[in-house]
């Protein structure tokens, strides 16, 4: 997703354009990987050294709810990345060292027919973990 698309969604939902949101989104748009709240905090060292974690988490939650970011959990902490292709459902290979991802176009739900009578399916998760070429070397 581009910055313009993200801001269009935010505007449509009456969210204000602030310096923090601009910086955070810009950081995500430059990084094709899953990032932590601390990553963002560190990146803001220059732009806004005093940024509150409250602000970071609040915006991460907002962005995720609006579908601008997608979220996962790795090593006991929440991680976020720019929702790469909002229209097309897909999954990820995730590097456990650097958080970098690689798309997996297939979805097991399309292939696996599971019989779950009377169950109410809400969602699913399919992720492959490992080391990306850079971190292998």
Partner DNA sequence: CATGGAATCGTAATGATTCCTATTTAAAAG
Partner DNA sequence: CTTTTAAATAGGAATCATTACGATTCCATG
Decide if residue 81 touches DNA (CB under 7 A). Answer: no
- Ramachandran category for residue 118: left, alpha or beta (phi over 0 → left; psi -120 to 50 → alpha): left
CB of 35 vs DNA, minimal distance in Å: 10
Minimum CB distance to its own copies smaller for 21 or for 100: 100
Residue 88 interacting partner from its own copies, DNA, none (CB closer than 5 to 8 Å by kind): none
Q: Are 126 and 107 in contact (CB under 8 A)?
A: yes
> CB-based contacts of 51: which residues, under 8 Å, 6+ apart?
20, 41, 44
Binding mask 14-43 for its own copies (x = CB under 8 A): ------------------------------
Sign of CA dihedral 55, 57, 61, 66: positive
Interface residues toward DNA, by CB under 7 A: 15-21, 36-38, 48, 50-55, 57-59, 61, 76-78
Interface residues toward its own copies, by CB under 8 A: 73, 76, 78, 93, 96, 102, 104, 106, 108-109, 111-112, 114, 116-133, 136
């Amino acid at each position: 997703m581009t910055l313009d698309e993200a801001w269009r969604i935010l505007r449509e939902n009456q969210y204000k354009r602030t310096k923090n949101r601009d910086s955070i989104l810009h950081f995500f748009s430059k990084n094709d990987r899953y990032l932590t709240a601390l990553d963002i905090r560190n990146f803001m060292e220059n732009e806004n050294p005093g940024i509150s974690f409250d602000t970071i988490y609040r915006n991460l939650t907002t962005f995720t709810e609006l579908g601008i970011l997608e979220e996962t959990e790795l090593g006991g902490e929440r991680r976020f990345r720019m929702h790469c292709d909002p229209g097309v459902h897909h999954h990820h290979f995730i590097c456990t060292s650097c958080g970098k991802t690689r798309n997996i176009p297939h979805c097991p739900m399309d292939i696996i027919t599971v019989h779950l009578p009377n169950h109410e399916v809400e969602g699913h998760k399919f992720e492959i973990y490992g080391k990306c070429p850079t971190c292998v070397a």
